[in-house]
Amino acid sequence: MSLPYPSAPAQAQSRSVLAIPAFRKLWQAMAFSSFGDWLGLLASTALAQQLAGGDYAKANFAIAGVFIVRLLPAVILGPFAGVIADRFDRRKLMITCDILRFSLYLSIPIVGNYFWLYTATILVEIVTLFWSPAKEASIPNLVPKNKLESANQVSLLATYGTAPIAALVFSILAVFSGVVNSILGNTTPASAADLALYINSISFAFCAYTVWRLKEIPAGPAANVKQLSFTRSLLDGFVFIKGSKVIRGLVFGMLGAFFAAGAVIGLARTFVDELQAGEAAYGVLFGSVFLGLATGISFGPKVFSQFTRRRLFGASLAISGILLVILSLVLNLVLAIFITIILGIFSGVAWVSGFTMLGMEVDDEIRGRTFAFVQSLIRVSLVLVLAISPLVAAAIGEHTYTFRTTTVTYNGAAFTMFFAGLIATTFGVLTYLHMRDRPTVSLWSDIKSALRGELGAMTGQISNGVFISFEGGEGSGKSTQTKLLKEWLEKNGEKVLLTREPGGTPLGDQLREILLDNKTGAISPRAEALMYAADRANHVFAKIKPALDQGEVVITDRYFDSSIAYQGAGRVLLPSEVARISRWATESLTPTLTIIMDLPAEIGLSRLQSTDRLESEPLAFHERVRQEYLSLANTDPERFAVIDASLSIEQIHELIVERVGAIKGLKKNQKTT
């Protein structure tokens, strides 16, 4: 006898994203090439210093030159690279770019002079400008939407988590370069920088080979984009960024974040000297940044899972700026390292939140140029700050302050980092205000709710389909509008599941009879809330979640907001407690859109021909229900749409269609009727 419900455990949905073969192969190639790139950066700066021939000033200018030429191409070519990337087959473009990077890095130690070091570095960065948007735009096509955040986490870990490993390998090469040369039988001894550059070139060859074997990478929008002019493609990307509140907030936030990051990178070595520490301390501080970054990327989304990504992004940026201000005031090395780790953690949280939103909010057709635009702004801000911050620090100079018997000295580096932290904090706060999705609820209120475990129902989990719930008081016309919406969606090519609560399953139908039959009589409010939660848990497991996993549109007549309104406000229980029960029962599965059919309780009840157990409650009960619905809508206006249910059926349907038609994830050919 077959089971009527899916038998797979819910935990199966939490498998690592690396279990997806295509993504795992791409990730392995990315990790190796990122390791090689960090190794190449260390080698390039070391080679620049070697070529200076012992001249200290020349060596510093040469090392700064390496950083600048690595970032400079983005200033000119960044936005154009994304458009070009969208006009070619992404897989073929990535292979070509990796082969070119392999050749260029291989040539640097062979040629061995300043001119070619800078020339090859510039060419590598130009090639990378085309490779990066193609890679970033491909990842959302290799993993399900509900695993995109995990994919971004491990991708960013591959990028930044390999930096300390590369530093360790470079140190080993420096110590044992003589042994390596004798093993390889080199007649002309190669330096540690040369050996590192050879390893770097091999990493890109491996990446090219891996991508060549990955047939799963889609070509992307190349066939369609070729029909557009280059200028039109570029303008489309800018228009999208300008018209998207989320992307504007992301771009603004990234600028602030990397303004601060550039100040830290440009002044870190001088700052360590001000703490009266040496090269070893500089290495520890460098490692601390990436330790914090890797920790934030790995664990941040899980620890802060109850907060929406939009709020988390802006708040994390603001906190990072505040920590940078504190760091600039610290005169103790141990404390500075601790603050740097925490700063890195919040930066990692902001990174993974931002990249996940980019992947989810941007359409595939313009994803490449959008990623390129954001990455270009990041690089441009880094170039400017790397160039300006040392000049500002030098202009400020050294200042000594005496407070009674205590004397402290702050140099230009600390002052510059202080002001960079203030700017980053300002950017973070403005980004938070621009992107926050629940404007009537403060962050502190969210923090308190999260600590009590009450916020999860507002954030929920990602699904492949679109989930729409209808809520409202009695007689508001929900059933009529759910059927009309189902018909409209099906005409536009969607596969739709229409269901209801309580009910929707055999068990639910039995619970519905108990809960609504007048013969049942009085039920304890808590028992009633638990019975609705039991019905909902089975409903999600048996019908809603399987349909969403198949990419269907699910429309339900009532969901957990009904319990918050009826069993919470109506029965005078704590709505937050009822919400917590429903969140646990549904594993925080939250509707994409909740439509509230708003109608004065007196009018709605007058429309009923007969009344069930809940409908028979006093008018005051139903007014409390209505007010709770409106309160819920006020806290989360992006999820809720309040519709005036006193309008005609046709007018209500038009309003609903207009709101539903704006949902991302529905078929592109849908049109309003």
Say whether pLDDT at 12 is over 50.
no
**Strand spans (E) along 144-287:** none
Q: Where are the CATH 1.20.1250.20 domain residues in the chain?
A: 14-227, 241-437
Dihedral, 516, 520, 521, 524 alpha carbons, nearest 10 = -80
Does 118 have pLDDT greater than 70? yes
- CA–CA gap between residue 67 and residue 389 (Å, rounded): 14
DSSP-assigned states of every residue in 342-394: HHHHHHHHHHHHHHHHHHHHS-HHHHHHHHHHHHHHHHHHHHHHHHHHHHHHH
Dihedral of CA atoms 167, 172, 178, 182 in degrees, nearest 10, equals -110
Q: Are 594 and 469 in contact (CB under 8 A)?
A: yes
Q: List Cβ<8 Å contacts ≥24 apart for 322-325.
A: 322/421, 322/425, 323/421, 324/260, 324/263, 324/264, 324/417, 324/420, 324/421, 324/424, 324/425, 325/418, 325/421, 325/422, 325/425
Give per-residue pLDDT as tens, 242-276. 656 667 777 777 777 767 766 776 666 567 666 66
pLDDT for 293-352, tens place per residue? 778 877 776 666 666 677 788 888 888 889 888 988 887 778 888 888 888 888 878 877
User: What is the rounded distance in angstroms from the CA atom of residue 66 to the CA atom of residue 282?
Assistant: 19
* SS3 (DSSP) at 637: coil
pLDDT, mean of residues 25-53? 76
- For residue 602, give both structure tokens: 């007196």
Span 163-209, pLDDT tens digits? 777 777 777 776 776 665 566 555 555 667 777 888 888 988 988 88
- Indicate where the chain has its CATH 3.40.50.300 domain(s): 454-660
Both tokens of 600, joined, read: 């004065």
In whole angstroms, give the CA distance from residue 351 to residue 297.
Answer: 7
DSSP 410: E
Radius of gyration of the chain (CA): 29
In terms of DSSP bridges, do strands 496-500 and 466-472 run parallel, antiparallel, or are they unpaired?
unpaired
pTM exceeds 0.75 for this model: no
CATH number of 454-660: 3.40.50.300
- The position carrying tokens 């907001």 is 561
pLDDT at site 14: 34
| Choice among 154-163, 213-222, 442-451 with the minimum mean pLDDT | 442-451
Out of 1.20.1250.20, 2.40.50.140, 3.30.360.10, 1.20.1090.10, which CATH number does the structure's domain 241-437 have? 1.20.1250.20
CA distance linking residue 463 with residue 221, whole number of Å: 24
The three-class DSSP label of residue 476 is: coil
Position 637 scores a pLDDT of 78
CA distance 210 to 496: 39
Predicted confidence (pLDDT) per residue in 385-410, tens digit: 766 776 677 677 666 666 666 666 66
pLDDT band at 146 (very low <50, low <70, confident <90, very high): low
CATH 1.20.1250.20 applies to domain 14-227: yes
Least confident interval from 34-43, 230-239, 634-643: 230-239
pLDDT at 412: 73
Give dist(CA 240, CA 237) in Å, integer: 5
